[in-house]
Amino acid sequence: MNLCYPADVRRYRSGTVGLFFADVPEAATVGKTLTEVLDHAPDALIVALSAYVDDGRAIPSPRRARRGQPVLCLPPLVALKLAIHDAMTQQGITQAALAGRLGVDGRQVRRILDLDHESKFSQIEAALGALGLRASVSVEKNTSPTPA
C-alpha cells in the first residue's frame, strides 16, 4: 500500500502559497512560503485521513506524481494504521470483530486506528496478522524536492 501523495502548489498574488492534494481534497494548507506549507502538509493529510477512518470510508489511493511535483509520504506508523483500516473496510471487519480476533478490548482497536495515538508496533503487527497481512520495510532515498 503506497501512501505517498502528490501535492499541487498554488502561488497567489498576495504572496501566499497553497498546497492541495487532488486525491484527498479535504487536505490543504496555506502559508507564507513553500517551506511553511510543506512543513504543515503532513498534518493536513493526517487530519483529513483521520476523518476517512472515523467515517469508515476507504483510503484514497494516490495517483502518480508529475515531474517536479512535491510528494508527501505519511509517517510509517500512520501508514500502517491506515492499512489496517483499509483491510478492515475491504474485508467488512468491524472494530468489535477485530478486537475479538485479537482477544483484546474494543478500546484497544480504537487506539490502534487512532492516527494520533502512538501504538506499539507489536499491536500493529498483531492487527495486521489478524487481517491476513504483514508489514514489510522499504527504505529509499528521499527524492522529494527540498524547498529553497
CATH number for 4-73: choose from 1.10.357.10, 3.30.160.250, 3.40.228.10, 1.10.3720.10.
3.30.160.250
pLDDT given at position 148:
46
**CATH 3.30.160.250 domain residues, the chain:** 4-73
Please list the residues that pair with 17 across neighbouring strands: 11, 31
Give me the tens of pLDDT residue by residue for the chain, a chain 148 residues long.
789 999 999 999 999 999 999 999 999 999 999 999 999 999 999 999 999 999 999 999 999 999 989 999 999 999 999 999 999 999 999 999 999 999 999 999 999 999 999 999 999 999 999 999 999 988 888 766 555 4
pLDDT given at position 2:
85
pLDDT given at position 145:
56
Q: Which fold has domain 76-130?
A: 434 Repressor (Amino-terminal Domain) (1.10.260)
**CATH 1.10.260 domain residues, the chain:** 76-130
